[in-house]
């Protein structure tokens, strides 16, 4: 099973890129973030015509997450459990062929001196609590998404340029490590020591200079890591016309199916 995560930065604006990726990538499950549409406005028909089931948790103008799957999507949860007061659509979770999959759009947190940063940290605390409860089920779990966290300096083209940013703050990185300490694995870092990025800003020629950062992650339970066969980052979509500023990250899992 090939599972991918992609912040599309507006599914309407990026629909041609999305359809191309679904046709070309042979992905079985695609977790999307930053849809920027309500559920009714998601291009469901175009995606379903390619053989995918669709489940969304949308929001007008901002946020929004989805799970697309060739297999049926079951036991769906919309919204991060334990964080029901949050009115932002940032989390959807479901079971696909025995694997529990979540699509996550974690808050950015900038500017740090505003309420946005404490909101990010509170949101991560709720995620940690829920992630811990998922491990008790002792099943394969994949927490996929845009975490808006640069885990280590080597996950950034220039660590100095990101000093003071919410993505590199000690409090943010500490919470990311807490997820790993629960028993989750950073699939990309587990599989390869290579330096690679998932995001390049639209400004200052970042893409052309490869001035990127790795903020999109696939965190896996031990049961999922045991199935891990390959991990990669597809840079192709970022170089196309009218791209998202993110590109897909994916993992191939060996299943009995």
256 pLDDT higher than 80: no
> What burial class does residue 62 get, using C-beta atoms within 10 Å of its C-beta: 0-12 exposed, 13-18 middle, 19+ buried?
middle
Is 120 within 8 Å of 166 (Cβ atoms)?
A: yes
SS3 assignment, position 4: strand
Mean pLDDT of the chain: 96
> What burial class does residue 132 get, using C-beta atoms within 10 Å of its C-beta: 0-12 exposed, 13-18 middle, 19+ buried?
middle
Cα angle 230, 214, 171 (rounded to 5 degrees) comes to 120
In this prediction the pTM is 0.97
Residues 6+ apart with CB under 8 A from 125: 175
Active site residue 28: no
Tokens of 219: 């965190």
Active site residue 105: yes
The count of residues in the chain is: 257
| 62-110 residue pLDDT tens | 999 999 999 999 999 999 999 999 999 999 999 999 999 999 999 999 9
Is 5 within 8 Å of 31 (Cβ atoms)?
A: yes
Q: Crossing angle of helices 116-135/170-182, nearest 10°?
A: 10
Share of the chain above pLDDT 70, in %: 100
State the CB neighbour count (10 A cutoff) for residue 76: 13
- Residue bearing tokens 């990669």: 232
| 119-171 residue pLDDT tens | 999 999 999 999 999 999 999 999 999 999 999 999 999 999 999 999 999 99
**Omega of the bond leading into 8 within 30 degrees of 0 (cis):** no
> Going from the N-terminus, what domains does the chain have, and what CATH number goes with each?
2-253 (3.60.10.10)
Give me the catalytic one of 97, 146, 165, 216: 146
Give me the catalytic one of 105, 147, 185, 197: 105
- Residue bearing tokens 């020591």: 193
> What burial class does residue 123 get, using C-beta atoms within 10 Å of its C-beta: 0-12 exposed, 13-18 middle, 19+ buried?
buried
34 pLDDT higher than 90: yes
257 pLDDT higher than 60: no
Q: What is the pLDDT of residue 133?
A: 98
Share of the chain above pLDDT 90, in %: 96
């Amino acid at each position: 099973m090939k599972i991918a995560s992609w912040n599309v930065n507006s599914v309407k604006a990026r629909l041609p890129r999305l359809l191309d990726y679904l046709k070309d990538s042979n992905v079985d499950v695609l977790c999307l973030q930053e849809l920027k549409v309500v559920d009714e406005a998601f291009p469901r028909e175009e995606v379903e015509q390619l053989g995918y089931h669709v489940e969304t948790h949308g929001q007008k103008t901002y946020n929004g997450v989805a799970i697309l799957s060739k297999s049926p999507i079951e036991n769906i949860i919309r919204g991060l459990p334990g964080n029901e007061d949050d009115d932002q659509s940032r989390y959807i979770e479901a079971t696909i062929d025995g694997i529990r999959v979540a699509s996550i759009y974690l808050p950015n947190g900038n500017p740090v001196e505003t309420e946005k940063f404490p909101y990010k940290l509170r949101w991560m605390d709720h995620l940690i609590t829920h992630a811990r409860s998922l491990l008790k089920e002792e099943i394969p779990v994949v927490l996929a998404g845009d975490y808006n966290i640069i885990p280590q300096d080597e996950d950034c083209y220039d660590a100095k340029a990101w000093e003071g940013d919410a993505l590199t703050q000690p409090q943010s990185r500490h919470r990311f490590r807490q997820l790993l300490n629960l028993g989750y694995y950073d699939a990309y870092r587990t599989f390869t020591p290579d330096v690679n990025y998932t995001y390049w800003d639209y400004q200052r020629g970042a893409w052309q200079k490869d001035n990127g950062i790795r903020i999109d992650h696939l965190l896996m339970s031990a049961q999922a890591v045991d199935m891990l066969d390959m991990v990669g980052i597809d840079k192709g979509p970022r170089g196309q016309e009218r791209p998202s500023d993110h590109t897909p990250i994916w993992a191939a899992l060996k299943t009995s199916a």
